[in-house]
Structure 1
Amino acid sequence: MVFALSAVLAGCGGNGGAKTGNAGGTDTANTGGRGGSGGDKLSGKVTFLTNRTDMIGKEYDEYVKRFNEKYPDIKIEFEASQTDYNQQAKVRMASGELPDLMFVPDIPNSDLPKYFAPLDDIQFSSELTFKDFKSYEGKLYGITTGNSTSGIVYNKKVFADAGITETPKTWDEFLAACEKIKQNGVIPLASNFKDKWPLGNWVFDMPRIIENNKGFPNERINMDAPFSMDNGYGKAMMLLKTLADKGYLEKDINSTNWEQSKKDIASGKMGMYFLGNWVINQVIGVGAESDNIGFFPLPYDNSGELRAALSPDFFYAVNKNSKNLEATKTFLKWMIEESGYEDFAGFISPLKGRESKLTQLAEFQATGVELQEGEPDDPKVIEISNKAQIDLPAIAQEFVLAKDPQTVLDKWNKAWAKAKKDLGY
């Protein structure tokens, strides 16, 4: 049974934002929304299943007020996912009870047309990023909510109090900074180890960055033993294990609290996160001064070269069987073009060329870091991973806690090889 919290928001007033033009002068049922004049003729109810429970009753209220200034007869209802979003979405897909607007769960791109409507008919003010990630047979089914790069989000006062005057450029410098912070009575890095999902950057982004190969995760299709101490996966997990073994993570890594950790970073009880830039505004939102929060690339080795992953976040998708398809596409277009969600969430805009308002991103880029774009997951790799029950953050947990981490890699290499063989790859 799926439990969801719903908040129905409607209203008018506020700033309508920039105008979006009529897409080629065609009927809005095909364009995903008029802009400017005629918007008030659109009507219907749009339900949106969101993972941002923290925005319901707050920022989403303001969004709907501004949206309803332009489209007063479209009613927006937010359903907040109270459980694992990916799993909840799959349950609803299986039951045929999809909302109008949602995020694409972890499914093969070949399944996208079964559930979602093509979005190519929506015209935006500039080109979309990552258009090929959720496309199938030349049609677009998912639009990124925003893009993220991973790095060290840090409390500047914690650094200053520990005598750290420059952000680390090498792994040894990073470890030295952690030691200074620890000696000053502050937890150096909040990992939220127990929650598992915050470990994602260590195992999804860092392996391809270490390998300097954006296609590295997909190259597993040609490997019977993809997890090695000598490749990106083993090296990335060893970075995390080193931090744990040296006592640079939470005192009890099996008892962490995500919401509390944001407050602890803001107050200076903890020094750093290794997460995407999306978390910056969340830390500021719980009390940190913006100019006290910084952002720099994680130096994963001692070469002095800095690389970081550029990746899309969740992808918006529209239920192909929505009774309010036109209204839903209109709201989706407004969310991308006018809501300002990417700035609130700390993302890089889905639209190419739109500059971020986050000063922390400017600091990050000033280091000369090379941003490496990812590429879509190979469906065969997804299939093998699912059959082998590969859960990379969970594997990282096992690896860090193991006395002999090689045995963990051996275990999952065996599972991978069997699944690969069983599937005939």
Structure 2
Amino acid sequence: MNKKLFSLGFVMITSLSLALTGCGSGNNNNNASTATDEPAASAKPDNSGGNAAATTEPAAAGGADISGKITFLTNRTDMIGKEYDEYVKRFNEKYPNIKVEFEASQTDYNQQAKVRMASGELPDVMFIPTIPNSDLPKYFASLDDLGLNDQITFKDFKSYEGKLYGITTGNSTSGIVYNKKAFADAGITEVPKTWDEFLAASEKLKAKGIIPLASNFKDKWPLNNWVYDMPRIIEGKADFPNDKLNSDTPFTMDNGYGKALSLLRELNEKGYLEKDINSTNWEQSKKDIASGKFAMYFLGNWVINQVIDAGTTSDNVGFFPLPYDNSGKPAAALSPDFFYAVSKDSKNIDAAKAFVKWMIEESGYEDFAGFISPLKGKESKLPQLKEFQSTGVQMQEGTPDDAKVTEISNKAQIDIPAIAQEFVLAKDPQKVLDKWNKAWANAKKDLGY
């Protein structure tokens, strides 16, 4: 299923949101999981809610004690009749009296889910669409009794008033996906650990006739990691995007936004991106990375399996953190995908909760989808993620955008990936920042913030 957005139906300024379209995620938020081309950025709740306290297992935790028929509305149409069947077979070894059926979302998952919510006909298990966290109790059952609260990442993203309503299906990070043979052909024997080393490696690739980095600049959404992840990583502050509330000039050359955009601009000026960055092709770029015509992507780990499927082997694809400075201390953003939820009106809530818990703990879905486990500290089985984690990278767990940030950004018509396009191509990038700072300040004033 291919929907282009990542996200995810993209909220103008969401630091974790992307609508997936062909990669391993797909939602109109920031968390999604569908076989699409784009990443599913992170879901941005309108209000974050409180922490959910860890509790005990559900009353009927024993497999044979729980029975019923449940339906799971999924956007992973590619898994129906295949991987999902295998999951159910294993699930029924533990829960023999639960029948699981799958309903495919053939269109925009976010919109379809909202229609179902409005009609009051929700499936037993589904992914949470883009709704305010204050609405979660209206539609979904608390998941605090699954005993996972202390083990899961992003537990506050889909919580409200101390209760947990959604658990991420898996997490993504951004980094350099690279063709190992292209590196070897260019004489690069170690992955770069500093920005200067990254530039030197890019120069070697260019000299060998290999395009160092595929940016897919024209398509805009592939720039999401540069503008949503990099600024907060550079600042070392997960909620850096919310600092805009305290400023009339949030975009400056010397803060995370300006520094991140300047990295991309430098790569273009040195000829390390596509020769014509305004005529790139997403589908072809995956083949070009696989063949070694291009050496690198700066994207989420979701693209790794797509590169392999485009014509290479797993052992030829690597993944390492982008060294954005010369400190030699790698850091990367961690963002959630779609969030599982259970309908509060389900006739078989215990069965639905048992299925969600099993999917999180035992299915192995995160490895299939190319995600990092939603469980804290669980090491990935994917060799590329093992390589990434072996660098000692510090993972920064993202936080939701403040609802006021989204409101101001939407009124100002701020689209940060589009700002990146302007910035990279402008004769005077400062004028680009000045223009959008003015738009931000005017919108902020008009809204009374």
- 1:87 CA displacement: 6.0
Segment of structure 1 superposing worse, 274-283 or 134-143: 274-283
- 1:66 CA displacement: 3.1
Partner of 1:8: none
* Distance in 2 of aligned mates of 1:334 and 1:163: 46
2:364 counterpart (340, 357, 367):
340
Does the CA-based 8 Å contact 1:263-1:286 persist in structure 2? yes
1:117 pairs with 2:129:
no
* Distance in 1 of aligned mates of 2:351 and 2:427: 55
Partner of 2:286: 262
1:380 pairs with 2:380:
no
Partner of 2:104: 79
Partner of 2:413: 389
Partner of 2:65: 38
- 1:126 CA displacement: 6.6
* Distance in 2 of aligned mates of 1:247 and 1:394: 21
- 1:194 CA displacement: 3.3
2:59 counterpart (26, 31, 34):
26
In structure 2, the gaps of 5 or more residues are: 4-55
* Distance in 1 of aligned mates of 2:107 and 2:389: 35
Does the CA-based 8 Å contact 2:125-2:342 persist in structure 1? yes
State the AA in 2 paired with 1:139. K
TM-score (norm 1): 0.82
- 1:257 CA displacement: 3.7
- 1:154 CA displacement: 0.8
Percent identity reads 75
Aligned to 2:262, the other structure's residue is in SS state helix
- Structure 1 pair 202–185 and aligned structure 2 pair: CA distance change class (3 A): same
Partner of 1:234: 258
Partner of 1:302: 326
TM-score (norm 2): 0.78
1:48 pairs with 2:81:
no
State the AA in 2 paired with 1:60. Y
- 1:159 CA displacement: 0.1
- 1:202 CA displacement: 0.8
Partner of 1:180: 204
Does the CA-based 8 Å contact 1:144-1:316 persist in structure 2? yes
- Structure 1 pair 57–199 and aligned structure 2 pair: CA distance change class (3 A): farther
Partner of 1:159: 183
2:312 counterpart (281, 285, 288):
288
1:196 pairs with 2:229:
no
- Structure 1 pair 24–63 and aligned structure 2 pair: CA distance change class (3 A): closer
In structure 1, the gaps of 5 or more residues are: 4-22, 28-33
Does the CA-based 8 Å contact 2:408-2:444 persist in structure 1? yes
State the AA in 1 paired with 2:59. T
1:399 counterpart (394, 414, 423):
423
- 1:325 CA displacement: 4.2
Does the CA-based 8 Å contact 2:229-2:333 persist in structure 1? yes
Aligned to 1:77, the other structure's residue is in SS state strand
1:66 pairs with 2:93:
no
Does the CA-based 8 Å contact 1:167-1:296 persist in structure 2? yes
Aligned to 1:403, the other structure's residue is in SS state coil
Q: How big is each residue's C-alpha offset from its partner over 1:79-133, in whole Å with a ceiling of 9 and x where there is no partner?
A: 24555x5566556656767554443344443343344332223234971112112
State the AA in 2 paired with 1:299. P
Does the CA-based 8 Å contact 2:335-2:397 persist in structure 1? yes
Partner of 2:303: 279
* Distance in 2 of aligned mates of 1:63 and 1:139: 28
State the AA in 1 paired with 2:387. E
Q: How big is each residue's C-alpha offset from its partner over 1:306-356, in whole Å with a ceiling of 9 and x where there is no partner?
A: 222223223223344556544433332222122101111222211123221
- 1:134 CA displacement: 1.7
* Distance in 1 of aligned mates of 2:270 and 2:110: 34
Q: How big is each residue's C-alpha offset from its partner over 1:38-97, in whole Å with a ceiling of 9 and x where there is no partner?
A: 34x2213x14232x45444543343344335545652422424555x5566556656767
State the AA in 2 paired with 1:67. F
Within a 5 Å distance, the mapping from 1:405-416 to structure 2 comes to 405-416=429-440
Segment of structure 1 superposing worse, 268-277 or 55-64: 55-64
Aligned to 1:37, the other structure's residue is in SS state helix
Does the CA-based 8 Å contact 2:133-2:159 persist in structure 1? yes
* Distance in 2 of aligned mates of 1:113 and 1:394: 36
* Distance in 2 of aligned mates of 1:340 and 1:219: 37
- 1:164 CA displacement: 0.9
- Structure 1 pair 216–65 and aligned structure 2 pair: CA distance change class (3 A): same
- 1:144 CA displacement: 1.2
Segment of structure 1 superposing worse, 156-165 or 282-291: 282-291
Partner of 2:245: 221
Let me know the Cα RMSD of the aligned residues.
Answer: 2.9
State the AA in 1 paired with 2:73. F
- Structure 1 pair 192–108 and aligned structure 2 pair: CA distance change class (3 A): farther
Segment of structure 1 superposing worse, 297-306 or 361-370: 361-370
Within a 5 Å distance, the mapping from 1:296-335 to structure 2 comes to 296-322=320-346, 325-335=349-359
State the AA in 2 paired with 1:42. G
1:210 pairs with 2:234:
yes
* Distance in 1 of aligned mates of 2:432 and 2:114: 29
2:127 counterpart (82, 91, 103):
103
* Distance in 1 of aligned mates of 2:407 and 2:119: 22
